[in-house]
Amino acid sequence: MSFDLAAAAGEFGKELQQLLDAVLPYHQGTDPALRQVTVTASPLAFAVELGTGGGRPAATVPLLSKGHKVAELFVLIRLVADSADRYPAVAKSKFELRINRHPLLRLDFDRDMHTAPGSHWNVHAERGAITSLLARNNPDHSGELSKLHLPVGGARMRPCLEDLLQLLIEEFRFDAMSDYKQAIEDGRVRWRRRQLAAMVRDDPEEAVRVLHDELGYDVKPPVSGALPVRFDRLRRW
């Protein structure tokens, strides 16, 4: 099967544009081109950003309160071909809530990360008890809370952008479009089904066990034989 990776990356960008436009209102007086999702393609790598058309640097999404910009959302997603060159896979993503251009919350994913959890939150805040605990137990740590990597489910079970958007709207109470929740829930379903498919590829043995033993499906292995479990992927934090 031939597959147009660039077209798939373009579709990815389109989905992101639709999600952002369905959830966060545009800021009056800001050039709408800065809200444009741009997918910059090199042969096998794609950068999904905002506002980089026309040679501009990456922009942020203004987060509004009663129409006034009070914070910003930074979104960067890097895609590469998956191991079979069939789909664009996220190699790295960075979602940040910023105020006055400084990060407050960061949700980072890097599939090649080994020293820190592949998917983690960083919270840019101060808490003396955490600093003193880190300083006492880990001489290699600066003690800053913002340098603590809070693990969130690894590559497969990590939160999606929709989760962060819902947090921004329902807890921070930033302005939202009237039907934001539908767009968030639709996007979350899409995300979780993709992640589930990836997990089935990681662990077909468990998928077959559940389908056959628990749900009564008749499942046959391919003629080439049962596919192995990728334990390296299940073990990774």
Partner 1 sequence: MMEVGTVDSILIQANPEMLRARRDRALASVRLTEDELRGRIEADSATPDERDAWQEVDTVAFLLGPSKR
Give the Cα-Cα-Cα angle 218, 200, 1 (nearest 5 degrees). Answer: 90
What are the distances in angstroms from CA 179 to CA 162, 173, 205? 14, 15, 40
> Which residue, chain included where needed, has tokens 């990815």?
12
Nearer to partner 1, 89 or 91 (CB): 91
235 lies in the binding site for partner 1 (CB under 8 A): no
Nearer to partner 1, 175 or 202 (CB): 175
**Chosen residue from 38, 119, 122, 166 binding partner 1 by CB under 8 A:** 38
Shortest CB 234 distance to partner 1, Å = 27
177 lies in the binding site for partner 1 (CB under 8 A): yes
**Chosen residue from 1, 4, 5, 57 binding partner 1 by CB under 8 A:** 57
Shortest CB 136 distance to partner 1, Å = 22
What SS3 string covers 151-180?
ECCHHHHCCCHHHHHHHHHHCCCCCCCCCH
How far is the C-alpha of 146 from the C-alpha of 96, rounded, in Å? 13
**Chosen residue from 5, 23, 37, 105 binding partner 1 by CB under 8 A:** 37
Shortest CB 204 distance to partner 1, Å = 31
Q: Indicate the angle between helix axes 5-23 and 161-170, nearest 10 degrees.
A: 10
Shortest CB 94 distance to partner 1, Å = 8
55 lies in the binding site for partner 1 (CB under 8 A): yes
28 lies in the binding site for partner 1 (CB under 8 A): yes
123 lies in the binding site for partner 1 (CB under 8 A): no
93 lies in the binding site for partner 1 (CB under 8 A): no
How far is the C-alpha of 237 from the C-alpha of 235, rounded, in Å? 6
Alpha-carbon radius of gyration of the chain:
20
How far is the C-alpha of 232 from the C-alpha of 206, rounded, in Å? 15
117 — phi, psi (to 5°)?
-60, 140
175 lies in the binding site for partner 1 (CB under 8 A): yes
SS3 of residue 99 by DSSP: strand
**Chosen residue from 5, 23, 27, 165 binding partner 1 by CB under 8 A:** 27
> Which residue, chain included where needed, has tokens 């997990």?
199
- List residues binding partner 1 (CB under 8 A): 6, 9-10, 13-14, 16-17, 21, 25-28, 30, 32-33, 35-42, 45, 47, 49, 52-53, 55, 57-58, 64, 67, 76, 78, 91-92, 101-102, 175-178
